[in-house]
Structure 1
Amino acid sequence: MGVREIQVADTTLLIHELDHVCDSVTGRALTGSWLWDSALVLSEWIATQGRLIFDFKDKTVLELGAGAGLPGLTAALLGASRVVLTDIEPLLPGLIDNVEGNGIGDRVEVRQLVWGSDESPGQGGESDHEFDLVLMSDVFFDPEEMAALAKTLKKVCRKGTVVWAASEVRPWTGEY
């Protein structure tokens, strides 16, 4: 796939998309290895509208199912003091490339997080409820994962945590 240049808030981000990243059990391509339209839409919305209603300065941001991490990287560009990009292990090298390739590793961390697990996306010893903003793009495609995603959201959100999500409507996902 290669590298895409994405304009965000007067900055060009380099986003690496991965080829041949597959689930070790099923052999199917992992959907988080490339940039989806929902990530582009959410990132653009954050940069143009979200920044008007949310002050990113000194805030902590978590992106669940980050894939290529574009919305979280956008939050870092807009001044978030700490951004944690999470996904499953096979996608972490691509996320690391995107953080390092854009020179924002001082504010952005990459962590493994399997939805519904007891893993913590926060730093060791810190509360799971440390995030001011949770971002999700195109994570509502597999009905079998929704209970696990809900458990993770409950774990990481506190009173006052803001959650922004963008998703493409897909008829085959049904209602959940």
Structure 2
Amino acid sequence: MKKTSSITQNLAFYPQNKTEHEELSNDAMPPLTSVIQIIPPDKDEEIEDIFACAPGLIFTDDTRNHHGDPGSTIVYKSARFGDIDLKTTDPEREEERQLFGHYLWNAGIKLAELVSEEDDGRWSVKGRRVLELGAGVGLCGIVATLAGAEEVVISDYPAPVVLENIRRNAKHAIPERLASAYSIEGHEWGELGTDFATKFAGRFDRILAADCFWMPSQHSNLVQSTLHFLAPDGRVFAIAGFHTGRAKLAAFFDVAVEEGLEIEEIWEEDVDGVRREWAKTRDGGREDVTGRKRWLVLAILKRRMRGS
């Protein structure tokens, strides 16, 4: 029997698009960045801070793809749940700062918008057991709790300053009556021998991951954590921006397929809701940096069936 290359084998686990350059407009949601307001800290701002906080206002072609600075408040203006105030943390160590979890990224906003929808569509978390990986400020896990998930675990790198900030945000945003529906846990991807990992193995119907894919050295660890926690019939909701380069995202999906996940759906969408097919490369790898900040990749993944 002729042996098929690993690349050819992996193609079976990518959804096949009907057309090569299909673009659709989604008018159901407002522009992504319009649901975010930044309240600066109560102090006089330096002129550099003002420019840093509002490039989209000063340079109109530049889309703001991350939000928040130490001391500021991010207000997520949810159409369903009202204003949700979020604080960012100021990581103490360089190792923690390099994770960039002290910002809210557009991928997290998009995922929060999708899981907060009231219908029982494909992104619904109502009645589900949900794990958020790489939570950052915790927005997606907070919204999942408010949206009626049965159980939510909001997790991020086990740094006290990061986890304490998530606890503060969750306590402020989630009513006391829902306090038993969520918890905050530290988890380092790929570390599966901890009490937390042992307790929650195979438990979650839905895993949320927003902008977790920009470190190639962590791709395999992230996939292993995903497979460890994912229920047999569960789904992974994965969204990411292109600000760190398309190649890094494409590499993650390749690793995911190689190690046991299957891509059920995948496409690209910009901040205005315009959709197009997913592509591993565009413009010969010479995408305009300003332009690509407008775009996200959205994917739904599942566990590969045995024998596939």
Query: If the TM-score is normalised by the length of the shorter chain, which range does it land in?
Result: 0.7 to 0.9
1:40-119 aligned at under 5 Å gives the runs: 40-48=109-117, 51-53=120-122, 55-90=124-159, 91-104=162-175, 105-118=179-192, 119=194
Identical positions, percent: 23
Q: Which moved more, 1:99-108 or 1:145-154?
A: 99-108
1:25-71 Cα distance to aligned partner (Å, 9 max, x none): x4745411121111011111222388523553332100011111111
| Residue equivalent to 2:214 | 141
1:1-36 Cα distance to aligned partner (Å, 9 max, x none): 3221212223221111112x0445x47454111211
What letter matches 1:33 in structure 2? H
User: In structure 2, how many angstroms separate the alpha carbons of the residues matched to 1:3 and 1:31?
Assistant: 17
Offset at residue 110 of structure 1 (A): 0.3
SS at match of 1:61: strand
SS at match of 2:117: helix
What letter matches 1:70 in structure 2? L
Cα RMSD after superposing both structures: 2.3
What letter matches 2:214 in structure 1? F
Q: 2:232 aligns with which of 129, 134, 159?
A: 159
User: In structure 2, how many angstroms separate the alpha carbons of the residues matched to 1:55 and 1:85?
Assistant: 17
Given that 1:65 and 1:86 are in contact with CA atoms closer than 8 Å, whether structure 2 keeps it comes out as: yes
Offset at residue 82 of structure 1 (A): 1.1
Given that 1:15 and 1:98 are in contact with CA atoms closer than 8 Å, whether structure 2 keeps it comes out as: yes
Given that 1:22 and 1:30 are in contact with CA atoms closer than 8 Å, whether structure 2 keeps it comes out as: no
SS at match of 1:158: strand
Given that 1:86 and 1:121 are in contact with CA atoms closer than 8 Å, whether structure 2 keeps it comes out as: no
Identify if the C-alpha distance between structure 1 residues 45 and 56 changes in structure 2 by more than 3 Å, giving closer, same or farther.
Answer: closer
SS at match of 1:110: strand
User: In structure 1, how many angstroms separate the alpha carbons of the residues matched to 2:227 and 2:213?
Assistant: 16
| Residue equivalent to 1:14 | 85
For structure 1, the 5+ residue unaligned runs are none
Q: Which moved more, 1:72-81 or 1:7-16?
A: 7-16
For structure 2, the 5+ residue unaligned runs are 1-68, 252-308
Offset at residue 127 of structure 1 (A): 4.5
Offset at residue 173 of structure 1 (A): 5.0
SS at match of 1:139: coil
TM-score between both structures, scaled by the size of structure 1: 0.86
User: In structure 2, how many angstroms separate the alpha carbons of the residues matched to 1:50 and 1:165?
Assistant: 20
Mark the structure with the bigger radius of gyration: 2
User: In structure 1, how many angstroms separate the alpha carbons of the residues matched to 2:247 and 2:113?
Assistant: 25
Offset at residue 98 of structure 1 (A): 1.0
- The alignment of Structure 1 onto Structure 2 pairs a total of residues equal to 172
Offset at residue 159 of structure 1 (A): 1.6
Offset at residue 120 of structure 1 (A): 5.2
Offset at residue 97 of structure 1 (A): 0.8
